[in-house]
Structure 1
Amino acid sequence: MVFYNTLKKNLVRVLITCWMLCLGVLTSSANVMASTSPWIDTDFSRIRIVSGQETLGEQGQVMLGLQFELEEGWKTYWRTPGDAGFPVSLTLEGSENLSSWEFFWPVPHRFTLFGLDTFGYSQEVVFPFRIKAQDPSKDVLIKGQVSYLLCQEICIPFDVEVQMRLPAGEAFPSLEESIVSQYVEQVPGLGAEVGLSIENSFLRGEGDQLTLVATGVSKSNPFISPDIIVEGPPGFSFSSPKVKLSDNSTRVEFVIPVSVAKENKGVLEGKLLTLSLIDGVRGAESEKRAQFASGINSSIPTPVEFLTILAIALLGGFILNLMPCVLPVLSLKLLSVIKHEGNDNTELRRSFLFLSLGILTSFWLLAGLAIGLKAAGVSVGWGIQFQQPLFLIAMGGIVTLFAANLFGWFEVFAPAALSDKALTVSDRKGNSGDFLKGMFATLLATPCSAPFLGTAVGFALARGTLEIFGIFTLLGLGMSIPYLLVAIRPEFARILPKPGKWMVWLKTVLGLMLLGTTVWLLSVLFVQVGLVATIVVGALLALGMAALSLKSVAMIHRIIIIGVLALFSMAVPYVLATAPQQATRSDLWQPFEPAQISKLVGEGNIVFVDVTADWCITCQVNKKLVLEKDEIQSRLGQSDVIAMLGDWTLPSEEITAYLKQYDRYGIPFNIVYGPNAPNGIVLSELLSVSEVEKAFDRAASK
């Protein structure tokens, strides 16, 4: 019995010793493997987590890696897979003591199969991800799910769970640090961009011929196998680029075809693109705004071309005085002549110089606005301020003030009254009034595109700062020509009748003309904000007129009333506006669908496009005098003619980009496509029946 008990005790001791030895071995093994998780095997791949550190360190921040090993011929996908596939994803919802984490994408490769391009990885890849512990003094448990797709001739989706515990402690590198660092250096922004940069990019062409051109530079080493990947908005795809290397292989130009999905009605211009320049394991990323070559890359015009455009701008500005959209403003200019009748030449010259300076200043402000908007990546156009309800309300108020002034209800120009009545628009000291009248005359003249004006504005807005300011200056000078002539030779103004009672009646008539302009502005506003809001704005303007007519009330009190009414008017679009009204015409007209034009023409049809707006006076003149004529209506009603109506009353990126394809930034714009004119025949701003009929004949099949 004693022997048995002794043997039993010895066996227990041996078992306890073995257990302790095994526990020690397991603990030691766990410590060695703290920087990796076990491999998880799936069909055709295996996956694990690796760490660049054995422990968290004092900062509690560690760079980890999601490591894939793929069998030969299999691949998985980048954040933007391309024409097929879906990207690798990692979720860490089950983790403990995890404050935040960030996932990174190494430089991918392009795979082309049956004309389809995809972007991803083969053989091996490590996706770095950085974690930060909530409490660095405690362990972090990394636990989550990885979803990925493997493709060869077939594609197989996988979902696997990964887990690894990273102990707290003083930081020191792990055995896998080199693996993690190798792939961290392949992440753009973390080292992959060594010597690489994307210099510029721009759009070129139109429709099926639309391309994106980008230029890359390598300052450290020559390019070996450069490629570029473009990530853009939904509905647009970017094919394999044509690559052109410089002689020393330090610069590369990519020409990337752009495809637009049939259901996509948007435009690419103005959208943000992410360009990834790749050369082996090197890569650089850059965000660029999609803009046509009219931006930084447009060709520099020759001196003769630029001088020709300047001459066209001068003529276009002059003709603007004769356009229907400027007629309501002529009252302001006519009164500037009448009030100086009989005065000395010095005062007359000064008055007309200030009037001209006001016109020029408005053109300079418009130029500055266009330059600023272009720099911000916003599409710009001539007269687009009439698409904004607040601008329409402000202009309606200003024109109403001018009408009240003509009716003799006040003599002090309203803005100046706020400065201790320092400036007055009297018959003798009206330079400030002349200047402001010149400015407002220009603003009211912008809703239409006169002959030559569209060409000049299109050229200007398609180029840089210098060209824009130069051409807009010549436009202003052209519009100022009649007034500058009077300033130079005052006797030109003497042909007007002598002052008399007739001027009182003329002022009344001209005031009514300005009120007509206010009604027109309200009609444009109606399309944008609806009936109720327009009626309220009109009522507030009428109340303002009534307040100004009360001569028994002190001027300062009337100004306060006008100011309060103005504030209420500006608030109306935000409170009472309803859904915008769409332009309607007869059943002959179809909605504007530029993507369908090539298809319709290919089927043997003639397509007539009319880009118009309710605020465009010239557009309305064209409609009444040409497009609604029986002979043109008969043409538009033919079975092989499709009439498309592009309504630009409200902002439209699609229409803005469409106009820009033809270097147009203002309306009216009319063009005829056909089997014999697939690229279109652009018509003049002021239409004629014969011009439209000839365009139809030319566009038809031979």
Structure 2
Amino acid sequence: MAGFDSSRGLERNTVETMNRFGRAIRVLLFLSPVLAIAATPNGGAQEASVVAVSTFWSHSGVKPEGEITLAVVLDIREPYHVNTYTAKPPFVPTQVGITSAPKELRVSTPMFPKPHPIEFGVGNAREKIWVFSHRAVVFIPMAVNVSAQPGEAPLTVKLSYQACDDKQCLFPTSVEHQVRLPIVVTTAGVKPLAEELFAALKDYGNQVRVSFFGWNFSFAAANRLLLIFIAGLGGFLLNLTPCVLPLLPLKILGLSRAAGNRSRCLLLGSVMSLGIVIFWMALAIAITTISGFNAANQLFQYPAFTIAVGIIVCIMAIGMCGFLTVSLPPWVYRLNVSHETLSGSFLFGIMAAVLSTPCTAPFMGAAAAWATTQPRIVALATFAAIGIGMAFPYLILSAFPTLVHRIPRTGPASELVKQTMGLLLLAAGAYFVGTGLAGLLATPPDPPTQSYWWAVAFFVALAGGWLAWRTLRITPHATRRIAFVGLAAVLIVVAATLALRFTRRSPIHWIYYTPERLAEAQAQNRIVVLEFTAAWCLNCHALEQAVLHDPRVVRVLNSSGVAPVKVDITGSNPAGDRKLLEVGRRTIPYLVVYSASGRAVFSSDAYTTEQVVGAIQSAEKLP
């Protein structure tokens, strides 16, 4: 057996050595054009002539609330090819996108043709890869808001690629094309153009791609019913995000009071669900009609809106705690949302939906981004599906009231639960008021203050202290005392952790984004890790604390060859907003890793420590 094991070990070592040798050969193949082009007069011009780029519109113009497609044509000279858009390092993927466009335009994901395989490399390093050759046409669908004014709208199309033959590659290249989109009046005639070119569009298998903590999913964009279902799934998962999860106990508490009357309980749950769905449908109408409004969480970029939401939440919390028994102005009492009335349940549904918008659930962001480029009826159906998915748990609880029947509905225990929940809701209100003030006072690119976390921590600790003190006063049972005082201790520890972790100096040496600072980092040939975040984005805080502050990630981000760049869009940050659209996103959180040559090697809104470290290591291997 010993001889057998040692031979297997020798075989594994030999295979690993050959694999490493093969990888080294591939890297050398990518580096080989450095000397070749340097030794050739006008070498750069030679590379530029390998791929000819042209653009065509599908129609002579587009009307407000209409759709149009841009074709980006790559004519590739033989014997060269370019890599597919899904190529992994050390191969450089082909990327096409709109980097600047008017606010009235909503751009969809580029649609690439089907690649074909070739044998690439020399000797033992040869392998099958997927490429585009001869002619490759990339289609970019887009839609125009109803508020768009007639005229020619300027757009910038950016194309990044690396041309190779079957043995070696030229330098990676980026080119920009300026095109103008003719927007016409609604009564104007529009005729199709380049019909033979666009006839191939029906054969394209456009995919909506989703990356979620290491898992990759893709869905056919033509299957609208499937994507609407995916949007509903994302809405359901939205209940598990930090924005919505704290609201579930509040609604359970409200439904428990009507649990004795099943029909009444179902009615209250249905009305609340209606409020959620109506809010999401209203968002769809706003996104498809209002210029410059293209994402749900964009609402929180307006500090006045964030502060107003925080004040309303605080008033709801005060009412839940029972503090509205004191004399206050009449309008305050009208804002006190009661779960036991139809109007109160409807308003609570709207409030729950509003509070959910800073977070993006898995699948939801991709489906919502796809929907914004579809006809209005599809956008409405998609956002309604998000609302239905989000409302689903509340409908289940209201349809089966026995699930909440055991929660105390009267007496001191019920009041204590209400008061504790109210104090926690007050912490949420303090959070929104604080982030609103932070956005109001921030001056980009400087980061906003994090001092509001002390106010949040104070109310969480107050909830824990109140729960412990009142528990000892109202119950003599040792088991209940131990359980609830233990829960109170957890709340106090959580409060201290919130205050200390979120107000401390970041272990990462962030560069706060401006176009000039990003260009300087790229000019220094550094790998760039671009993080999009905001103070009001709880998902962003969670990912930063759990992933980016991991010692393994901190070590590579702070290394000399890496530039960690933070794009904070808490308040008014036009440069940051433009950069977010430039990378093809409308929602945050989002992370992009660029190689030293400026190629995007990784991007995701839900990532792991291993993915970030692996992406930076892959970027280091690129020329």
Q: TM-score, normalised by structure 2?
A: 0.53
Deviation at 1:338, TM superposition (A): 2.3
* Structure 1 unaligned regions, length at least 5: 1-114, 116-195, 214-252, 261-270, 278-283, 285-296, 543-582
Q: Does 1:670 align with 2:591?
A: yes
Q: Does 1:691 align with 2:605?
A: no
Secondary structure in structure 1 of the residue aligned to 2:382: helix
List per-residue Cα deviations over 1:320-365 (Å, max 9, x = no partner).
11111224433431322222232x1110110110111111111112
Structure 1 distance, partners of 2:367, 2:69, is 22
2:602 to 681, 692, 697: 681
Contact 1:677–1:699 (8 Å) recurs in 2: no
Alignment of 1:1-400 (within 5 A): 199=62, 305-342=223-260, 344-374=261-291, 378-400=292-314
Show the 5 A alignment for 1:545-556: none
From the superposition, tell whether residues 254 and 644 of structure 1 become closer, same or farther in structure 2 (CA, over 3 Å). closer
Which is helix-richer, 1 or 2? Answer: 2
Aligned-residue RMSD, C-alpha: 4.8
> 1:613·1:619 contact (CA, 8 Å) conserved in 2?
yes
Q: Secondary structure at the match of 1:383?
A: helix
Structure 1 residue 300 displacement after superposition: 11
Contact 1:632 1:693 in 2 (8 A): yes
Structure 2 counterpart of 1:467, from 362, 373, 378: 378
Q: Is the Cα contact below 8 Å between 1:592 and 1:645 reproduced in 2?
A: yes
Q: Supply the distance in 2 between the matched residues of 1:436 and 1:527 (Cα, whole angstroms).
A: 27
The one of 346, 352, 358 equivalent to 1:441 is 352
Q: Which has the higher strand share?
A: 1
How far apart, in 1, do the equivalents of 2:259 and 2:437 lie? 41
Is contact 1:462-1:663 (8 Å) kept?
no
Residue 255 of structure 2 contacts residue 401 of structure 2 at CA under 8 Å; is this kept in 1?
Answer: no
SS of the residue aligned with 2:547?
helix
Match of 2:428 in 1: 517
- Residues 155, 181 of structure 2: 8 Å contact kept: no
Q: 2: distance between equivalents of 1:511 and 1:585?
A: 32
1:209-264 CA distance string (max 9 Å, x none)? 85989xxxxxxxxxxxxxxxxxxxxxxxxxxxxxxxxxxxxxxx99986699xxxx
Measured in 2, the distance between the counterparts of 1:690 and 1:212 equals: 35
Alignment partner of 1:660 out of 566, 578, 581: 581
User: Structure 1 residues 334, 464: CA separation in 2 closer, same or farther (over 3 Å shift)?
Assistant: same
The CA distance in 2 between the partners of 1:358 and 1:640, in whole Å, is: 50
Residues 599 and 326 of structure 1: is their aligned pair in 2 closer, same or farther, counting only changes over 3 Å? same
In structure 2, relative to structure 1, the CA distance for the partners of 1:597 and 1:498 (3 Å cut) is same
Matched AA of 1:516 = A
SS at match of 1:514: helix
Q: How much has 1:371 moved relative to structure 2?
A: 1.8
Aligned to 1:68: none
What's the secondary structure of 1:324's corresponding residue? coil
Structure 1 partner of 2:441: 530
Whether the aligned pair in 2 keeps the contact of 1:379 and 1:657 (CA below 8 Å) is no
Equivalent residues of 2:100, 2:578 under 8 A apart: no
Contact 2:308 2:433 in 1 (8 A): no
1:500 offset after TM fit, Å? 4.4
Flag the 1:701–1:274 CA change in 2: closer, same or farther, 3 A: closer
Shift in CA distance, 361/640, structure 1 to aligned 2, threshold 3 Å: same
SS at match of 2:586: coil
Q: CA deviation at 1:615?
A: 0.7
Question: Does the 8 Å CA contact 2:526/2:596 hold for their aligned counterparts?
Answer: yes
Task: Verify: 1:589 aligned to 2:510, yes or no.
Answer: yes
Q: Separation in 2 of the partners of 1:411 and 1:307?
A: 50
Amino acid at match of 1:530: L
Larger Rg over CA atoms: 1
- Structure 2: how far apart are the matches of 1:630 and 1:422? 50
Question: Whole-Å Cα distance in 2 between the matches of residues 692 and 596 of structure 1?
Answer: 22
Q: Is residue 397 of structure 2 the alignment partner of residue 486 of structure 1?
A: yes
Give yes or no for contact 2:297–2:587 (8 Å, CA) kept in 1.
Answer: yes
1:211, 1:519 → 2: CA distance?
37
Alignment check: 8 A CA contact 1:204 1:211 kept: no
Q: Is the 8 A contact 1:203 1:212 kept in 2?
A: no
Q: Percent identity?
A: 27
On the 8 A contact 2:531/2:592 being kept in 1, the answer is: yes
| SS of the residue 2:621 aligns to | coil
Alpha-carbon contact 2:61-2:181 (below 8 Å) kept? no
Is the Cα contact below 8 Å between 1:407 and 1:511 reproduced in 2? yes
Higher RCO (C-alpha 8 Å, min separation 6):
2
Question: Structure 1 residues 606, 626: CA separation in 2 closer, same or farther (over 3 Å shift)?
Answer: same
CA distance in 1, matches of 2:432, 2:519: 37
CA contact (8 A) 2:311 2:433 kept: no
Counterpart CA distance in 2 for 1:254 and 1:653 is: 19
Matches of 1:432 and 1:411 in 2, distance apart? 20
How many pairs are equivalent?
Answer: 388
Q: CA deviation at 1:508?
A: 1.1
1:345-391 deviation digits (Å, cap 9, x = unpaired):
110110110111111111112112212214xxx14223111121221
* Cα distance in 2 between the residues matched to 1:425 and 1:209: 45
Q: Identify if the C-alpha distance between structure 1 residues 495 and 481 changes in structure 2 by more than 3 Å, giving closer, same or farther.
A: farther
CA contact (8 A) 1:383 1:666 kept: yes
Equivalent-residue separation in structure 2 for 1:418 and 1:255 (angstroms):
48
Q: How far off is 1:518 after superposition?
A: 1.9
- Can you give the 5+ residue segments of structure 2 that lack an aligned partner in the other structure? 1-44, 46-58, 73-94, 103-151, 160-177, 189-200, 207-219, 443-448, 460-503
Distance in 2 between residues matched to 1:203 and 1:594, nearest whole Å: 27
Q: Which amino acid aligns with 2:351?
A: F
